[in-house]
Amino acid sequence: MPFQPPDPHPSGARPPEIPADQVPRHIALVMDGNGRWANARGLPRIEGHKRGEASLMDVARGCIEVGVRWLSAYAFSTENWKRSPDEVRFLMGFNRDVIRRRVDEMHAMGVRVRWAGRRPRLWRSVIRELEIAEEKTRHNDVLTLTMCVNYGGRAEIADAVKQIARLVAEGKLKPDKIDERVIARYLDEPDMPDVDLFVRSSGEQRTSNFLLWQSAYAEMVFLDTLFPDFDRRHIWEACEIYAGRNRRFGGAVDKAGSTGAASVNGAAAEDAAVGGSTGAQA
């Protein structure tokens, strides 16, 4: 079936022209700053979360327009249970209702909805809406939106290791056969590609336990905008920054035509220049 293209941005802004091979395939998004946005306006924190719903939807539209194929959104972490009971109750109900409200719109645009996270403690009504959305959109292939609800990167890895340990204990897997590929098969979403671009709003510069395994070689972009003020133009900005990065994945390339000591010095100078602007790659 033909999918409905995203509505244009109200400003008339259009996506940047980035070569297809320089567009990140998978973006991890930490939606930070909702509470600070609300506090700055004398509003309850929940008002910031409400405003963030529209921001996430606009980011999804922008991803489709620029050609991103996977978007993973940090909706509720395993650490968020430490927040006040009132805020936790609101976030549980809010995540459930956002999925229910938006699933038809996402389905029309060709978005496949997935869920990553732990079942224990998560409201059954939230799980039900996530599963309904997964089933309804499972054949869509324009954009995969993974809602990470009751999710933590360390928890995901620990859960994978538990499953692997059971296989070893049952004699179904030899310990010396365990490698990165085996561990990846037991993560929440085994078919999820590695994160290319890790984006966090609000100016904070940390990963907060999000997609740790998948983000091993992700490019990090931290934007100062609080998430309720975030939209597709910010994700396009992050994509343009990404397109200008030199991704070496642990390798190094000498400058063309250089030899001997000059080659070594040139490579060192290039490493320093790249590291100063993007963070050195191991």
Compute φ and ψ for 128, nearest 5 degrees.
Answer: -60, -45
- From the candidates 7, 32, 140, 231, give the one annotated as an active-site residue: 32
Reported for 276-281, long-range contacts at CB under 8 A and 24+ positions apart, including other chains, are 278/219, 278/245, 278/246, 279/220, 281/217, 281/247, 281/248, 281/249, 281/250
- From the candidates 80, 97, 246, 271, give the one annotated as an active-site residue: 80
Q: How far is the first Cα of the chain from the last one, in angstroms, to the nearest whole number?
A: 44
Q: E strand or H helix at 159, and its extent?
A: helix 153-169
Compute φ and ψ for 191, nearest 5 degrees.
Answer: -90, 0
The span from the CA of 125 to the CA of 191, in Å, is 26
How are the residues of the chain apportioned to helix, strand and coil, as percentages rounded to the nearest 5? 45, 15, 40
The span from the CA of 157 to the CA of 235, in Å, is 28
The span from the CA of 134 to the CA of 187, in Å, is 18
Active-site annotation holds for 140 = no
Active-site annotation holds for 191 = no
The span from the CA of 52 to the CA of 31, in Å, is 8
Burial of 205 (0-12, 13-18, 19+ CB in 10 A): exposed
Catalytic residues: 32, 80
